[in-house]
């Protein structure tokens, strides 16, 4: 009778490994995991509740960057860059298991951006008024979400 697994024992055939056993069941599951499409992985990622603010901030960062690149009006690079940077930081680094230092940085950056928006609205901003109001709401939500992550019992520091 033939065995259900194939054993390769030639060091030449396997490079530095002297012996490897390949099971048909293991190869099928590995193939299934490897062939899982990016869209299936994205849907799985989106279903995690803590990823919603990350996705939103990532989209906002891309949107602000695209608005800067596509506008024909003279705009302030630093005003747009600061906003993109804060949203990108919030999207990439802030998750429930983030360190206290990263969460503190996110609270500080979002607070500083809110102050910056207030100052720019009082004087002259190159970002349209309606988008600045939207940004005030967005950074306030970021503060609330990050603060909630600080107080969540599920988060281990």
pLDDT at residue 32 in the model: 55
Q: What is the mean pLDDT of each run of 10 residues along the chain (157 residues)?
A: 48 45 50 67 74 87 87 83 91 86 92 91 85 91 88 55
Interatomic CA distance for residues 54 and 40, integer angstroms: 18
pLDDT at residue 15 in the model: 45
pTM over cut 0.75: no
pLDDT at residue 140 in the model: 93
Q: Domain coordinates of the chain in residue numbers?
A: 6-35, 49-151
pLDDT at residue 51 in the model: 82
pLDDT at residue 76 in the model: 83
């Amino acid at each position: 009778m033939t065995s259900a697994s194939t054993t390769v024992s030639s060091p030449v055939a396997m490079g530095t490994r002297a012996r490897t056993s390949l099971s048909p069941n293991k190869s099928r599951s590995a193939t299934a995991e490897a062939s899982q499409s990016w869209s299936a992985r994205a849907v799985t990622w989106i279903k995690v509740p803590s990823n919603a603010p990350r996705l939103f901030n990532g989209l906002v960062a891309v949107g602000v960057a695209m608005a800067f690149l596509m506008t024909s009006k003279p705009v302030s690079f630093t005003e747009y860059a600061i906003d993109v940077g804060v949203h990108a930081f919030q999207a990439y680094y802030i998750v429930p298991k983030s360190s206290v230092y990263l969460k503190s940085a996110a609270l500080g950056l979002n607070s500083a951006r809110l102050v910056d928006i207030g100052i720019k609205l009082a004087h002259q901003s190159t970002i349209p008024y309606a988008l600045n109001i939207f940004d005030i709401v967005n950074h306030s939500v970021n503060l609330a979400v990050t603060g909630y992550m600080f107080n969540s019992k599920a988060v281990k520091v």
